[in-house]
Structures are given as C-alpha cells and as structure tokens.
Structure 1
C-alpha cells in the first residue's frame, strides 16, 4: 500500500499480501466496485477481507466436490482367514464434508454481502439512510415553522 493511501486511510485495489488465489482475485474484483459506490476506508478492510476469504473457502470446497463428488462411498473391507483384504462391501454413502463447508461459507457470504451493501436490499437500505436524515431535517424545519413539537425538541405544543 502506498504512503498516500495509508495516510488517507483508503483501500487500494491491491490485495493484502496474505490473501491468496481466489481471495486475492475476489479482492481485485470487489474493491473497485465498492469504492465506486460507497466511501470505503481502511477501517472497512476487515469486512472485505472476510468476504474474500469466505469466497476462497467456498471455491476450494467446490473444487473438492468436483474431485470427490457430493457423496462418498462407505465401504467395509472383507478379509480372508490370513487377514488379506479380498473384497470391499458397500455399506452406504456419506455426504462430502465440503457440502457443509459450502453451506457455512454461503451463510457467511450472505451476511457479509449485506454488511458491504452487495445485495439489492442492503443497497436500498444504505441509500434510504441518507433520505431518512433529510426527512428528519424537513420534519424539524416544518415543526419550527409552525411552532410544533417534535420528538427531538421535548417541548409542549402551545
């Protein structure tokens, strides 16, 4: 990170050195988008890092499923009298643990997406924050004009 970026406490498009592969790629994808929409600062870096790390966890778990399948066979070895394995009997199937990892990563990604304003609902919520403040200012101004009370003034209406 440049001295100027550190001084201004802004995020750069360059990922932190400890983010690798999928996480670093996600950082390079998401930070320019976030900075284009919102005023993200260095203080927000942890949330963005967690998002990128969860994305990497998701992708690596998906790679595991691609390699090993969604379910794994459970087999029991059949041995002869000398202890040599002569066959394997199928006893059932077990879900690949990577499926649970994906489920957890998606849950975390959804929460972090809301925090970062990456979903339509969270974006509209962030946008309405500014308009709520404007509405409060307008209400306060009207109350003063008409000499009325508002919850903020704690005065009685005369």
Structure 2
C-alpha cells in the first residue's frame, strides 16, 4: 500500500448478497430510532449496499440518532437549558452516528465516494486516458 492510499476508504459497491426488501425496525428501538430506520432503509436497499450482516451497524446508527433527538427534546422541554452531562452524551452520540453514516453512504461525502465508483463515461475524448 502506498502512503497515498492511507486513510482512503474503498468505494461502496453493490453487494451480491444485498437485501432486496427493508426489514421492519427492531421492536426495542425507540420511536426516534425507528423513524430513522424507516427513513434510511429505502436508500440503503435502493443502492444495494446493505446485507443482513450490516444490520447491527444500521441499528447502532439509528440508536445514536435516537439518543440525539431524545436529548434535544429534553433540552427543549427544559426551556433550552443545556445540561453539561447530557451535552457530552449528545456530542458522543452525534459523532458515532456521523461515523456510522459514513460507513453506509448516508453522508454527502460518502455518497460522492459511491458515485466515484461508477464507471467513467467512455464518450469523453480525453487524450490522457489509456
């Protein structure tokens, strides 16, 4: 591996074992996590990047988003007062959710990676292409 490839994630590609239908959200998820599951699952199924083996990671992503939304609801109900302990939990949950979102192509940058994996258009007259 060259030093130029360090930290570069491979592009997401359709998986041969990709799920064809979105499973129902797990019962133990709270309402916010279930709402996130229902929001993202059609995208993941449509891109054919999610398999049964990936569902635990998707569950964790949804749980983290659920924490963020629940804490925000509590903050709003408390008159927008910020509890430093809850802010720390929110911050860690948001960071974890962001990292997991990138794994599954749920962020703009990771979606751009997916687009980069598609074959280039052969109609270009690029003199440098071989």
TM bracket, shorter-chain basis: 0.5 to 0.7
Give the corresponding residue for 1:101: 89
Structure-2 separation of matches of 1:128 and 1:99: 36
Give the corresponding residue for 2:77: 67
Q: Which has the higher contact order (CA 8 A, sep 6+)?
A: 2
Q: 1:9-158 residue pairs with structure 2 within 5 A?
A: 10=19, 12-68=22-78, 69-71=80-82, 95-131=83-119
What is the count of residue pairs matched by the alignment? 103
Mapped contact 1:70–1:99 kept (Cα < 8 A): no
1:45-96 Cα offsets, whole Å, 9 max, x none, are: 011101100011001111121122334xxxxxxxxxxxxxxxxxxxxxxx44
| 1:13 shift after superposition | 3.9
Structure-1 separation of matches of 2:89 and 2:71: 6
Mapped contact 2:105–2:111 kept (Cα < 8 A): yes
Alignment TM-score, normalising by the size of structure 2: 0.67
Classify the secondary structure of the residue corresponding to 2:50.
coil
Mapped contact 1:24–1:52 kept (Cα < 8 A): yes
Structure-1 separation of matches of 2:57 and 2:51: 11
Alignment TM-score, normalising by the size of structure 1: 0.56
Structure-1 separation of matches of 2:48 and 2:111: 10
| 1:131 shift after superposition | 4.2
The CA RMSD over aligned residues, in Å, is: 2.3
Runs of 4+ more than 6 Å apart: none
